[in-house]
């Protein structure tokens, strides 16, 4: 996926129309398709850029509503480590795009395939913002994150585990 800086403008061509479908005043004629559309990417949320340290399977990417397990190390911009799931030996689990985590997590993890490890920076507006996390993360603090997507579980996977339908049956 190619990343575009959030302050750029892009022109997206629609169809093969050769003439403008707008009137003198700039209004689109009824039923006419515009020949191009200009999108101001400043109004779109920024996409985090990841530096890949280890490739994943390249096939399995989390989607909205999936439950993910992620190992990570979190550091302040000063370099001070504030959290580390590797030291706890337990991955961090959350449901993607459900509001359970700061926006940086959702944006970062959806770009990783299972097994992939990357580094990124959550700008403060995608982390803990103006309030910070008292006693741990100061206000307006960018966070340097190293993250590894350990696994993805869909609701169907979770249901199968809970009902025991994921167990293997032995042939008689």
> Integer distance in angstroms from the first to the last C-alpha of the chain?
48
- Check residue 12 and give its pLDDT: 35
Residue holding tokens 């025991």?
164
Q: What is the DSSP code string of 47-106?
A: PPP-EEEE---SS----TT-EEEEEEEEEETTS-EEEEHHHHT--EEEETTSSSS-HHHH
Stretch 139-160: mean pLDDT, rounded?
A: 89
pLDDT tens by residue, 10-26? 333 334 433 333 434 44
Taking residue 105's Cβ as centre, other Cβ atoms within 10 Å add up to 23
The fold of 51-160 is Chitinase A; domain 3 (3.10.50)
Instruction: List CB contacts of 33: < 8 A, sequence separation 6 or more.
Output: 14, 15, 17, 21
Rounded to an integer, what distance in angstroms lies between the CA atom of residue 21 and that of residue 32?
A: 6
CB 39 within 8 A of CB 9: yes
Of the candidate ranges 97-111, 140-154, 156-170, the one whose mean pLDDT is the lowest: 156-170
Identify any residues that bridge with 151 across adjacent strands, giving them in sequence order. 69
Rounded to an integer, what distance in angstroms lies between the CA atom of residue 36 and that of residue 97?
A: 32
Of 143, 129, 131, 133, give the one whose Cα is nearest residue 84: 143
Domain boundaries, the chain: 9-43, 51-160
pLDDT tens by residue, 114-134? 999 999 999 999 999 999 999
Residue holding tokens 């490739």?
55
- Check residue 15 and give its pLDDT: 40
Question: With bands split at pLDDT 50, 70 and 90, how would you rate the model's confidence at 161?
Answer: low
Take residue 77 and report the two structure tokens written for it: 């911009």
- Check residue 164 and give its pLDDT: 72
Stretch 41-57: mean pLDDT, rounded?
A: 78
pLDDT tens by residue, 59-74? 999 999 999 999 999 9
């Amino acid at each position: 996926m190619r990343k575009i800086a959030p302050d750029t403008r892009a022109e997206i061509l629609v169809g093969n129309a050769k003439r403008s479908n707008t009137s003198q005043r700039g209004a689109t004629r009824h039923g006419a398709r515009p020949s191009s559309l200009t999108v101001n990417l400043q109004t779109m949320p920024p996409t985090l850029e990841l530096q890949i340290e280890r490739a994943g399977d390249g096939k399995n990417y989390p989607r909205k509503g999936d439950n993910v397990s992620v190992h990570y190390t979190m550091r302040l911009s000063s370099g001070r480590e504030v959290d580390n799931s590797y030291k706890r030996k337990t991955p961090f689990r959350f449901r993607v795009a459900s509001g359970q985590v700061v926006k940086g997590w959702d944006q970062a993890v959806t770009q990783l395939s299972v097994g992939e490890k990357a580094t990124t920076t959550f700008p403060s507006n995608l982390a803990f913002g103006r309030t910070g996390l008292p006693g741990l993360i100061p206000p307006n603090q960018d966070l340097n994150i190293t993250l590894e997507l350990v696994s993805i579980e869909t609701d169907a996977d979770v249901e199968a585990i809970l009902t025991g339908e994921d167990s293997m049956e032995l042939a008689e």
